[in-house]
Amino acid sequence: MVEIGYLTAEEWAAELVRGVTPEAIAGQLQAGEYLPWVDTLVQFTENSDEVLELGSGAGQNAALLALHQRNMTLLDWSQENVDFSQRLFATMGLPGRFVRHDMTRPLPFGDGSFDTVFSCGVFEYFSDEEITNILREAARIARKRIIIMAPNARSLAYRLGKWSMERRGQWRWGRERPYATLKPYFRAVGLTVIAEFSLGTKHALSFLTMRGGRRVKDMLIRLLRLRDHSRPARLGQGYLLVTVADRGRKGAVHA
């Protein structure tokens, strides 16, 4: 199994759930407290019943979609993450299917098993060859749509904050490479991208942890009137790059 970002499965799970419990996350989700890209996932899975998350981590994204009546399957390489997600779903009284598997290997599902396959914050840890193979498998098992979210290389705040934390030895997330676009990977496996945009500009500012960073963050929030929402970011400065492909459908690609 690939050691994602040079962290073991156990180390990765520990980072994802540091200082939180399934009960605490359940309370946040039920109170409507979640990150803005979850609304984007809800929007792009409106016509989907069966949904698979690749690299589901602690399960927050999948749990929110389950609250919106999606039948969720969660796949992760870490048994600790799978166990945590099961506890989260149980706490919230949600049904779910949980699978431990390395997504760089052939996926354990039949052709067209899901309406939508998505991944959030995972592709930045894989090689070009691995990404192509994962997308090819996702295309095989998805009937309608594939959604990939990864850090945005055009986000100046995220890039500066990440660089500063790495220099100070405070970066906890292993080897991580952002992307300006994922369209070439989709085209390589015959998928047509119908939308690509970034979102979460305010979230990107949270990486400005260096001296004076808080003042800069507060100033930009006031100056640009930033709020947490799921609309595409102005000037491409959102933290996450969102790339969406529909199976068998052609359409305009949005910057």
Tens digits of residue pLDDT in 38-90: 999 999 999 999 999 999 999 999 999 999 999 999 999 999 999 999 999 99
The domain locations on the chain are 4-151+180-197+239-246
From the candidate CATH numbers 1.10.3210.10, 1.10.10.1100, 3.40.50.150, 3.90.1150.10, the one assigned to the domain spanning 4-151+180-197+239-246: 3.40.50.150
User: Are 222 and 168 in contact, with CB atoms under 8 Å apart?
Assistant: no
Report the mean per-residue pLDDT for the chain.
Answer: 89
DSSP string, 55-107: S-TTSHHHHHHHHTT-EEEEEES-HHHHHHHHHHHHHHT---EEEE--TTS--
Mean pLDDT for 15-44 is: 88
User: Are 122 and 151 in contact, with CB atoms under 8 Å apart?
Assistant: no
- DSSP code of 179? B
Tokens 């605490």 sit on residue = 24
User: Are 87 and 59 in contact, with CB atoms under 8 Å apart?
Assistant: no
Tens digits of residue pLDDT in 108-165: 999 999 999 999 999 999 999 999 999 999 999 999 999 999 999 999 999 999 999 9
Tokens 């001296």 sit on residue = 211
Buried b (16+ CB within 10 A) or exposed e, 79-90: ebbbebbebbbe
What is the structure's pLDDT at 85? 96
pLDDT level of residue 251 (50, 70, 90 thresholds): very low
The two beta strands, 114-120 and 142-151, are parallel
What is the structure's pLDDT at 213? 84
| Phi, psi dihedral angles at 100 (to 5 degrees) | -95, 120
Higher per-residue confidence, 231 vs 167: 167
| Phi, psi dihedral angles at 213 (to 5 degrees) | -65, -35
